[in-house]
A and B are shown apart, each in its own frame.
Chain A
Amino acid sequence: MQRIGVFVCWCGSNIAGTVDVVAVAEALKKEPGVVFSANYQYMCSQAGQDLIKNAIKEHNLTGIVVCSCSPRMHEATFRKTAAAAGLNPYMVEIANIREQCSWVHKEMPIGTEKAIILGKAAVAKVNLNTPLVPGESPVTKRALVIGGGIAGIQTALDIADAGFEVDIVEKKPTIGGKMAQLDKTFPTLDCAACILTPKMVDVAQNEKIRIFSYSEVTDVKGFVGNFDVTIKKKARYVKEELCTGCGACTEKCPMKKVPNDFNLNMDTKRAIYIPFAQAVPKVATIDPDYCNMLKNGKCGVCSKVCAAGAIDYTQKDEFIEEKYGAIVVATGFNPISMDKFDEFAYNQSKDVITSLEFERLTNAAGPTAGKLLRPSDHKHPEKIVFVQCVGSRCDACNEKGKEYCSKICCMYTAKHAMLTRDKYPDTEVYVFYIDVRTPGKNFDEFYRRAVEEYGVHYIKGMVGKVVPEGDKLIVQASDLLDNKQLKIEADLVVLAAAIEPDKSARPLATLLTASMDTNDFFTEAHPKLRPVESPTAGVFLSGACQGPKDIPETVAQAGAAASKVIGLLAKDKLTGNPCVAHSNEMMCNGCSSCERVCPYGAITYEDKEFRMPDRTTLMRRIAVVNPAVCQGCGCCTVACPSGAMDLKGFASEQIIAEVDAICK
């Protein structure tokens, strides 16, 4: 049986003005388990807290009820008070007789009666409270960043800057991501490489950062502070530690017809390649699908020309296991496939391109060395049509596109149009738009400059179809403001393709038990207040894997994610919330209902051997809650058909006791 003390606070006249605190204290004294009751003017004051502490010691109290203001106000205070007196802080319950009683009722008898009932409910609950001790788990002081684009780079740099070790896992042979493929960046028009490559070098030179390039995460176990991650280092057939990146092999390799994915297959590379001059790590990689030596054992040129002796045709995929305290997802985005958009003739004409392809065409390191030339005949285009919202803002049941706005297209299209007009004033540029969305710093000014200073023709309307005719592209479009249908003979058509999360995101989310929305963007723990955290503790989000973002936003979010990681890694131990779910293994059916509703992936199953009364044993599948991951929402307790799952601190029995006390 508990020995409960009840402490009724006057809160000056805030409570005492409407509630007869003496009567409440007297009434609650008669409740089962209550051995002491008192009232005081300000229970939260030092004197009030001392009164509680002394009572706990003097009367050997095992639990206390404080009838006072909202627990959201002083629950923490009174828990500390109890702890100071040697009582488990979770043996404290608050009856909210201020916000939910004295302040909302006017008449003393009514307020008093309700305060007594609320007090009784709290006493009933404390009677069933058990001391709770928060679990502690150590923190591995190293972070993993998955994805080496600008988001991953910035996050890694910021974490390393705080003195923690970071590993970047990048599936491509180099870090840099999409930003490395861009030419200039809006709205300032500084060159992407000029601002990105120094950061890439910083990453390479930072002692705290390791880069696993050409690698993938294949398994994740554990939980916040204690992740066990398996990383697959794909065989690149080049010893990373020996390769100097001199590039001799990439010049001598006889296999020249390999599509160059870095230039979006608009030109070719060799079977052994370094994606671009500023690649980090600057190490060659052999494409096994094209290398003659790997395919049929005939060639070996690269190994002959390599002075460092770095070529290793026998290299195998390598699996590395590493421990991490925090994981940052920075898997980024890709433009969607244009295959389904027959109307734009993307697959029929080489001169219909996506905006990312346009970036490469205008990039000095691109397939045309920065000259804007048509892919088909390498002539200078005199009329260019840009089409916005291709595959963005589609209806949910439209199979071609995405429901969301891709956010970055309005600005990069304005950039492309402006740069084209700047460099080639004789080129006519049309932009077909539905809306121009420019809500960023200096964004609308930028778009207006494209129109007003550079003479880009912005036409409200959409392109209906593109038909290749001779060496021209006939663009049929509507001009909604002029109520006309236009036919433009264009030389080049640029599609602002919607962007979507990288395909690797979905399987990664499964590994991490991190939740995703229907578009495969990672879900944040709270859309407003916790935008860079996944609901799964210890997993953080950086960049476009969480939603479409431009570079400034990505960098801001990357820094925010880093600061959250630093906050986590700075702790030596994680103290959990003790009010977590736990499963009674004797009653558990192992049916998986709880696991399905758990937003945190805190529940796993194991086969456990039970000894039966007749000395036989049997194996049964049972649920196990990881207290370090559980956040204590209690959803599983209701999903559980047998009632095996319960929530500490808010147990079914306790809530029923409160219901009974109120309904008595």
Chain B
Amino acid sequence: MQKITRDILVEKAVSLLENGTVCCVLGWKKGEFDYDVTPALFESKEEIEKDFVYDDFCGANFSKYLVKKTIKAEGKILVFLKPCDTYSFNQLLTEHRFDREKVYAIGIPCEGMADINKIRAIAGDGISEIKCGEKIVVDTIYGDKHEIDAKDVLLERCINCKSKKHVNYDELLGDEGEVIESNRFDEVARLEAMTPDERFAFWQNELSRCIRCNACRDVCPACTCEKCVFDNPKSGVENKAPANEFEEKMFHIIRAFHVAGRCTDCGECSRVCPQHIPLHLLNRKFIKDIDSFYGEYQAGAEVGSRAPLVNYTTNDLEPSEVFEGRGE
């Protein structure tokens, strides 16, 4: 299988830019450190050749950026989509959030992205440089050098990858993959099996760390509202400084409920959380419930599908039956 490298993507991007197919390129750019790669819009060959990055830290899902960028762009935008990104891409198309005609989507295969926290756990603090290649090579300011196998430091979402298949693209680089039988609901099931008190302790511990920075919302490709309820004083749930850990539940339930049935389980929320709260466990709870109550549904698998919360059947499960057969 062809390994996707920076050079291949740069060459592709430059050629499409130069032949006029696209007017700009949505890609990744190095941040302050090697590992905080950020999304960026490139408009010239020079910019691309200078700053374009593709390595094990390119987790960012570009779909969301298309909402704002396509409205302004004069021509087409080139975007590189990993398999998981294509689901968000489709979901946004379903919701008419951008014009498909204004995008040139290139599907790229993905073997999983690295979790910097796992690297830190191995290499310690003070990382000065990281090189991604066969192995991830980490230098620290203390002069240590670590060689880490990328497979050992995958992001949680990549360990539980649900699909290597691209569900939407104009052009595909490399080989097409398959939808994978993942174990992504195991952790949710483990929590469900806990006693209520254990589970309460678990969530209290996790959610009490929330600093309401809104990173999870800002990165979420399903959260593209023109005005978010958390920014709207009339919604009754507007942003407030966190006063105690109870209130954070409200925020996170509402956040997860708002994207229920629309969340593609891309895992960006957990990736960006500075407090390392496993937010995907909330979203996955909804996905798991939806699958078991109303039949399997993968948001974004196809454009135009009817999300479970804007659908019904006359013999749906009653709310009182939710807990039946779950003992206790």
A residues in contact (CB < 8 Å) with B: 586-593, 596-597, 605, 618-621, 639, 641-644, 652-653, 656
Contacts and interface: CB of A to CB of B under 8 A. Distances in A.
A591 B309 contact: no
Interface stretch (B17-25, B190-198, B221-229): B221-229
A520 B302 CA distance: 25
A619 B99 CA distance: 11
A202 B306 CA distance: 48
A643 to B, nearest CB: 5
A656 B258 CA distance: 18
Nearest to A598: B310
Contacts of A587: 225-227, 232
A639 B96 contact: no
Given A618-B71, A652-B235, A592 B227 contact: no
A127 B232 CA distance: 19
Interface string B70-107: 01100000000000000000000011110000000000
Interface string B292-316: 0000000000000011011100000
Interface residues of B, number: 24
Given A593-B95, A652-B234, A653-B234, 8 more contacts: A587-B226, A588-B226, A590-B96, A590-B97, A592-B94, A596-B306, A618-B71, A643-B227
A301 to B, nearest CB: 52
Contacts of A653: 234, 236
Contact of B310 (A586, A588, A596, A644): A596
Closest 6 CB pairs of A and B: A642-B225, A591-B95, A596-B310, A656-B236, A587-B227, A643-B229
13 contacts: A586-B227, A587-B226, A587-B227, A587-B232, A593-B310, A618-B72, A619-B71, A641-B262, A643-B227, A643-B234, A644-B227, A652-B234, A656-B236
Contacts of A643: 227, 229, 232, 234-235
Among A589, A592, A639, A641, max chain B CB count under 10 A is at A641
A641 B225 contact: yes
A491 B94 CA distance: 58
Interface of B: 71-72, 94-97, 224-229, 232, 234-236, 258-259, 262, 306-307, 309-311
A642 B229 contact: yes
A641 B311 contact: no
A639 B309 contact: yes
Contact of A642 (B96, B226, B306, B309): B226
Contacts of A596: 306-307, 310-311
B236 A652 contact: yes
A641 B227 contact: no
B310 A597 contact: yes
A586 B227 CA distance: 8
Given A618-B72, A643-B229, A652-B235, A589 B310 contact: no
B96 A591 contact: yes
A639 B306 CA distance: 12
Contacts of B259: 641
A656 B71 CA distance: 35
A639 B95 CA distance: 13
A644 B97 CA distance: 15
B95 A592 contact: yes
Contact of B95 (A586, A589, A619, A620): A589
A326 to B, nearest CB: 28
A589 B234 contact: no
A586 B226 contact: yes
B297 to A, nearest CB: 14
B224 A589 contact: yes
Among A586, A620, A642, max chain B CB count under 10 A is at A642
B236 A639 contact: no
Contacts of A621: 96
B179 to A, nearest CB: 25
B253 to A, nearest CB: 15
Among B224, B226, B228, B235, max chain A CB count under 10 A is at B226
Contacts of B235: 643, 652
A113 B174 CA distance: 72
Given A593-B307, A596-B310, A653-B234, A642 B228 contact: yes
Contacts of B258: 641
A68 B6 CA distance: 74
Nearest to B72: A618
Contact of B97 (A586, A589, A656): A589
B312 to A, nearest CB: 9
Contacts of A618: 71-72
B96 A592 contact: yes
A643 B258 CA distance: 10
A586 B228 CA distance: 12
A121 to B, nearest CB: 15
A656 B234 CA distance: 10
Contacts of A588: 226
B300 to A, nearest CB: 14
A642 B94 CA distance: 16
A499 B96 CA distance: 40
A626 to B, nearest CB: 19
B64 to A, nearest CB: 12
A639 B224 CA distance: 15
A605 B229 CA distance: 22
Nearest to A595: B310
Contacts of B262: 641
Contacts of B311: 596
Contacts of B94: 592
A618 B232 CA distance: 22
A605 B96 CA distance: 11
A621 B97 CA distance: 8
Contacts of B227: 586-587, 642-644
Contacts of A620: 71, 226
A588 B71 CA distance: 15
Contacts of A619: 71
B237 to A, nearest CB: 9
Contacts of A586: 226-227
Contacts of B228: 642
B72 A591 contact: no
A605 B236 CA distance: 27
B8 to A, nearest CB: 34
Contacts of B224: 589
A641 B309 CA distance: 11
Contacts of B71: 618-620
Contacts of B310: 593, 596-597, 639
Nearest to A605: B96
A652 B311 CA distance: 22
Contacts of B97: 589-591
A653 B72 CA distance: 34
Nearest to A657: B236
A308 B236 CA distance: 76
Given A592-B95, A618-B71, A644 B236 contact: no
Contact of A644 (B226, B306, B307, B309): B226
Contacts of A593: 95, 307, 310
A54 B72 CA distance: 59
Contacts of B307: 593, 596
Contacts of B95: 589-593
Contacts of A642: 225-229
B236 A589 contact: no
Contacts of A641: 225, 258-259, 262
Contacts of A597: 310
A597 B94 CA distance: 15
B213 to A, nearest CB: 21
Given A652-B236, A653-B236, A656-B236, A589 B306 contact: no
A586 B231 CA distance: 14
Contacts of B236: 652-653, 656
A605 B97 CA distance: 13
